[in-house]
Amino acid sequence: MNAIVKTPQKDLAATVIEMKGQIQAALPKHISADRIARIALTALRNSPKLGDCSPQSFLGSLMVASQLGLEPNTPLGQCYLIPYGKECQFQLGYKGILDLAYRTGHYSMIYAAEVYQGDEFEYELGLNKKLIHVPRKGAKIGQPIAYYAVYKLKDGSGDFSLMWKEDVEAHGKKFSKSYNNGPWKTNFSAMAKKTCIIDVLKYAPKSIEVAQALSYENAKINVDLEASAANGEPIFETSWEDSNEDKREAADQFAATKAGQALL
């Protein structure tokens, strides 16, 4: 009879299942601990290295994703749980931020695109910003040279943000520890477009979900299950190992958005 070989991901999956009661006590009533467990098993199956992460950081990132209604580590590309040794970090995906933005009800259009060599492309900053992009007919030539994101609100106003490929690469190397692995390597285009969307949304209308998602980007999130159960909602301890001011600004905006909505 063959012995059952235990692996780190099986150990962590078993821990999540064993803690379902505590997890449920820490969650809002509309989120099921069974759903969290199913998502956890899928994430561990798709990214086995997550099994090396501490249960607190894995559950913290997992519960953030569930609160936002995003599926981690799936072909949907909504968000990712990224392992860094014993710690798990939450990373928002391109499609995830689009989903959250559309849920606000403010946007009639929001998207991002690549600019290839040979495309008809013109942009202008200043008092009268302008962006014109007509993709070249036929096959694409080489790699994209730039990326941009645009949005249009239902009241007709809008804005755009553009970054040259070199700027995106420099941004990723500076601010993301996962630049040499994970989605930056497997889907650079999606990460570049997400970077542009985050930039253009800085001063656009945001829901509490969008502000919350941006505040947790690339963060180490540990959940305190005991305090969460007593409070009736997840209590997270969030930290960044780098000095990324954008992340702290996003956290401040989330706190301000949450406080403002509490007054309504």
Up-side HSE of residue 175: CA atoms within 13 Å toward CB?
A: 18
- On whether both 31 and 110 belong to a single domain, the answer is no
- On whether both 20 and 83 belong to a single domain, the answer is yes
User: pLDDT tens-digit profile of 197-249?
Assistant: 989 988 887 777 788 788 887 777 888 877 777 777 778 887 765 544 454 44
**Would you state the pLDDT for residue 259?**
38
Q: Which residue has the higher pLDDT, 215 or 168?
A: 168
**Would you state the pLDDT for residue 30?**
67
Q: Which structural domain, as residue segments, surrounds residue 172?
A: 105-205
Q: Which residue has the higher pLDDT, 237 or 193?
A: 193
Could you tell me if residue 73 is inside a domain?
yes
Could you tell me if residue 97 is inside a domain?
no
- On whether both 83 and 5 belong to a single domain, the answer is yes
Could you tell me if residue 99 is inside a domain?
no
State residue 78 phi and psi, 5-degree precision: -80, -40
Of 159, 163, 161, 162, residue with least CA distance to 107: 159
Q: Which residue has the higher pLDDT, 46 or 163?
A: 163
State residue 263 phi and psi, 5-degree precision: -85, -15
For residue 23, pLDDT beyond 70: yes
Average pLDDT over residues 97-124: 92
For residue 33, pLDDT beyond 90: no
For residue 190, pLDDT beyond 50: yes
Q: How much is the pTM?
A: 0.72
Number of domains in the chain: 2
Distances from the Cα of 154 to the Cα of 95, 106, 196, 202, angstroms: 20, 6, 21, 18
Could you tell me if residue 98 is inside a domain?
no
Q: Which residue has the higher pLDDT, 259 or 67?
A: 67
For residue 114, pLDDT beyond 90: yes
- Which among 49-58, 150-159, 184-193 has the top mean pLDDT? 150-159
Q: Which residue has the higher pLDDT, 251 or 80?
A: 80
- On whether both 197 and 239 belong to a single domain, the answer is no
Average pLDDT over residues 255-263: 39
